[in-house]
Amino acid sequence: MKIVVTGGAGFIGSHIAEHYANQGEHVVVIDNLSRNRLLNKKSNDFLYNWNYLSKLKNIKLVKADVNNTKILFSETKDADAIVHTAAQTAVTTSLTNPGKDFINNALTTFNALEAARKNDVKFFVYCSSNKVYGGNVNRIAIKELKKRYAFTGKYVKGVDETLSIDLCEHSPYGCSKLASDIYTQDYGYVYGIKTGIFRMSCIYGTRQFGVEDQGWVAWFTIATLLNKPITIYGDGKQIRDVLFITDVISAYDAFIKKPMSSEVFNLGGGPKFSLSLLELIDMLKKLTGKSSKIRFDKWRTSDQKVYISDISKAKKLLDWKPKISPKEGLKILVNWAKDNARLFG
């Protein structure tokens, strides 16, 4: 197979590229290496995943913007699948520069879909977000426990794919991801492309360069190891289901390899693999022997006190389930971060 991975030098994209390259598939990675610029960060990790992939067989690296349609259409010719991970990833960045967010999320997705349509690509996997549900998540009843909030009533198993995506506030990031989500669905309906839309909760793992604005599990881990202060916006009881990167890849792979039509999946660890910010800090203290330097600040715009995915549909249709528990995954992440502390400044 020929697999094209947009944003392939990023955290999720690089793991997808590595997975298929190790299986002997021909992988094309397209990335403009703009992550640090998009997040307005200076970091030593700028080329880490790019250089990592350059050492693997079966991977072609193409430094280009996905919105360069000439290159995009050329590189996706004869492709069997496009896995579209290229994106601006932070809600905070979208609030300060919504135009940049739109270009790097909605427009890139449209161009990637057009490449799939014009080149007759069979499979298209889109990395969507739980933010497509926007403020509707905050209308779900919750209860407050000692160190976490929790859903109550019909959503005790989490949010399923039928929760409304309409008539609520989203943030510009949520809007650009939602527009991309709907476009991807429609290209499946109208043009017959087998589109897999994965509305993801919190994904974490090795080679993730988390920052305060994005990638909170990795950011808390890095900050704890380097004795950097951590700011918690809110009270720290906000909860997310977390999913280790290898479990993400297995879900994508199951979609590409199973005969099915276009589908939307909520993808996360589910209720059993969920963490609050305070619980993560406690786990990191046990794993590292270090106490994080914590300060509290006011809640941020568009934050959700609770988001947990109901992953029943993915389990049923993909014959998939998460395997790496938060305890096991966090231990792997801590060890990787220790070995690569020089990269974090």
Cα-Cα-Cα-Cα torsion 16, 21, 26, 27, nearest 10 degrees, comes to 30
What is the Cα–Cα distance from 105 to 34, expressed in whole angstroms?
A: 13
The answer, yes or no, to whether residue 44 has pLDDT greater than 80, is: no
The answer, yes or no, to whether residue 321 has pLDDT greater than 70, is: yes
State the pLDDT at residue 198.
98
Q: How confident is the model at residue 213 (pLDDT cuts 50, 70, 90)?
A: confident
At which residue do the structure tokens 């993915």 appear? 314
Q: What is the mean pLDDT of residues 222-226?
A: 95
CA 296 to chain CA centroid, nearest Å: 26
Q: What is the mean pLDDT of residues 209-225?
A: 94
**Cα-based distances in Å from 241 to 17, 140, 204:** 25, 16, 11
Give per-residue pLDDT as tens, 252-281: 999 999 989 999 999 999 999 999 999 999
| CATH 3.40.50.720 for domain 2-344 | yes
Q: How confident is the model at residue 41 (pLDDT cuts 50, 70, 90)?
A: low
What is the Cα–Cα distance from 19 to 333, expressed in whole angstroms?
A: 18
The CA-based angle 177-232-304, given to 5 degrees, is 35
Percent of the chain with pLDDT over 90: 90
State the pLDDT at residue 39.
60
Give per-residue pLDDT as tens, 60-106: 999 999 999 999 999 999 999 999 999 998 899 999 999 999 999 99
What is the Cα–Cα distance from 60 to 113, expressed in whole angstroms?
A: 21
Active site residues: 173
What is the Cα–Cα distance from 175 to 64, expressed in whole angstroms?
A: 25
- What's the whole-model pTM score? 0.96
The answer, yes or no, to whether residue 49 has pLDDT greater than 70, is: yes
State the pLDDT at residue 292.
85
The answer, yes or no, to whether residue 46 has pLDDT greater than 80, is: no
Residue 337 and residue 224 in contact, taking contact as beta carbons nearer than 8 Å: no
The answer, yes or no, to whether residue 2 has pLDDT greater than 90, is: yes
What is the Cα–Cα distance from 26 to 256, expressed in whole angstroms?
A: 15
Mean pLDDT rounded to a whole number for the chain = 95
State the pLDDT at residue 302.
78
Q: How confident is the model at residue 25 (pLDDT cuts 50, 70, 90)?
A: very high
Report the range of poorest mean pLDDT among 110-119, 139-148, 235-244, 299-308: 299-308
Give per-residue pLDDT as tens, 62-71: 999 999 999 9
Give per-residue pLDDT as tens, 275-296: 999 999 999 999 999 998 899 9
Q: What is the mean pLDDT of residues 118-147?
A: 97
**CA Rg value for the chain:** 19
Copy the structure tokens of residue 302.
């568009």
The answer, yes or no, to whether residue 34 has pLDDT greater than 90, is: no
Q: Return the biggest CA–CA distance within the chain.
A: 55
The answer, yes or no, to whether residue 40 has pLDDT greater than 70, is: no
State the pLDDT at residue 301.
81
State the pLDDT at residue 43.
61
The answer, yes or no, to whether residue 36 has pLDDT greater than 70, is: no
The one-character DSSP state at 12 is: H
